[in-house]
Amino acid sequence: MKLNEQYRTLEKSYLFSDIAHRVSEFQKANPGVDVIRMGIGDVTRPLGEKIVGEMVAGTKEQGKAESFHGYGPEQGYEFLREAVRGYYRSYGVELHPDEIFISDGAKSDVGNILDLFDRENTVLIPDPVYPVYRDTNYMDGRRIVYLEANKENGFLPMPVSGQQADLIYLCSPNNPTGAVYSREQLTKWVEYALEQDAVILFDAAYESFICDENLPRSIFEIEGARRCAIEFCSLSKTAGFTGTRCGYTVVPDDLVRNGLSLREMWLRRQTTKFNGVSYPVQKAAAAVFTPEGQAQCRENLAVYRENAQIMSQALQEMGIWFVGGSNSPYLWLECPNGMNSWEFFDDLLHRAHVVGTPGSGFGKNGEGFFRLTAFGTVENTREAMARMRKLYCK
Ligand code: PLP
pLDDT over threshold 90, residue 41? no
* Listed residue (329, 322, 323) closest to 308, CA to CA: 329
pLDDT band of residue 171 (cuts 50, 70, 90) is very high
**In angstroms, what is the span from residue 205 Cα to ligand 1's centroid?**
6
Confidence (pLDDT) at 159: 97
Percent of the chain with pLDDT over 90: 96
The angle formed by the CA atoms of residues 363, 313 and 393, to the nearest 5 degrees, is 80
Rounded distance between C-alpha atoms, residue 155 and residue 252, angstroms: 28
* Listed residue (240, 210, 206) closest to 45, CA to CA: 240
For strands 229-234 and 247-250, give the pairing: antiparallel
Residue partners of 286: CB distance under 8 A and separation at least 6? 54, 77, 79, 80, 83
pLDDT averaged over every residue in the chain: 96
Q: Return the DSSP state at 46.
A: P
pLDDT band of residue 15 (cuts 50, 70, 90) is confident
Confidence (pLDDT) at 98: 98
Confidence (pLDDT) at 86: 98
**In angstroms, what is the span from residue 328 Cα to ligand 1's centroid?**
13
Q: Is the separation of the CB atoms in 165 and 198 below 8 Å? A: yes
Residue partners of 162: CB distance under 8 A and separation at least 6? none
Q: Tell me the chain's radius of gyration from C-alpha atoms.
A: 21
pLDDT band of residue 393 (cuts 50, 70, 90) is confident
Q: Give residue-wise pLDDT tens across range 278-306.
A: 999 999 999 999 999 999 999 999 999 99
Nearest residue CA, atom 8 of ligand 1?
A: 41
Confidence (pLDDT) at 31: 94
**In angstroms, what is the span from residue 107 Cα to ligand 1's centroid?**
5
Rounded distance between C-alpha atoms, residue 243 and residue 47, angstroms: 10
From the CA of 174, give the closest atom in ligand 1: 3
Confidence (pLDDT) at 298: 96
pLDDT over threshold 80, residue 394? no
**3-state SS, residue 201:** strand
Cβ neighbourhood burial of 152 (10 Å; 0-12, 13-18, 19+): exposed
**3-state SS, residue 287:** helix
pLDDT band of residue 14 (cuts 50, 70, 90) is confident
Domains of the chain, residue spans: 5-47+293-392, 49-290
Out of 3.30.450.90, 3.40.640.10, 3.40.50.720, 1.20.210.10, the CATH code matching 49-290 is 3.40.640.10
From the CA of 247, give the closest atom in ligand 1: 15
Q: Give residue-wise pLDDT tens across range 94-129.
A: 999 999 999 999 999 999 999 999 999 999 999 999
Q: Return the DSSP state at 68.
A: -
Contacts of the segment 28-37: beta carbons below 8 A, 24+ positions apart = 33/353, 34/353, 35/349, 35/353, 35/354, 35/355, 36/353, 36/354, 36/355, 36/376, 36/380, 36/383, 36/384, 36/387, 37/355, 37/376, 37/380
Nearest residue CA, atom 3 of ligand 1?
A: 175
How many residues make up the chain in this entry?
A: 394
Q: What CATH architecture is 5-47+293-392?
A: Alpha-Beta Complex (3.90)
pLDDT over threshold 90, residue 11? no
Confidence (pLDDT) at 233: 98
Confidence (pLDDT) at 189: 98
Measuring from each residue's beta carbon to the nearest atom of ligand 1, which residues come in under 6 Å?
41, 105-107, 130, 171, 175, 203, 205, 234, 236, 242, 247
pLDDT over threshold 90, residue 206? yes
**Omega prior to 176 cis, within 30 of 0:** yes
Confidence (pLDDT) at 100: 98
Q: Return the DSSP state at 315.
A: H
Helix axis angle for 279-288 and 78-90, nearest 10°, is: 20
Q: Is the separation of the CB atoms in 230 and 249 below 8 Å? A: yes
pLDDT over threshold 90, residue 9? no
Confidence (pLDDT) at 13: 75
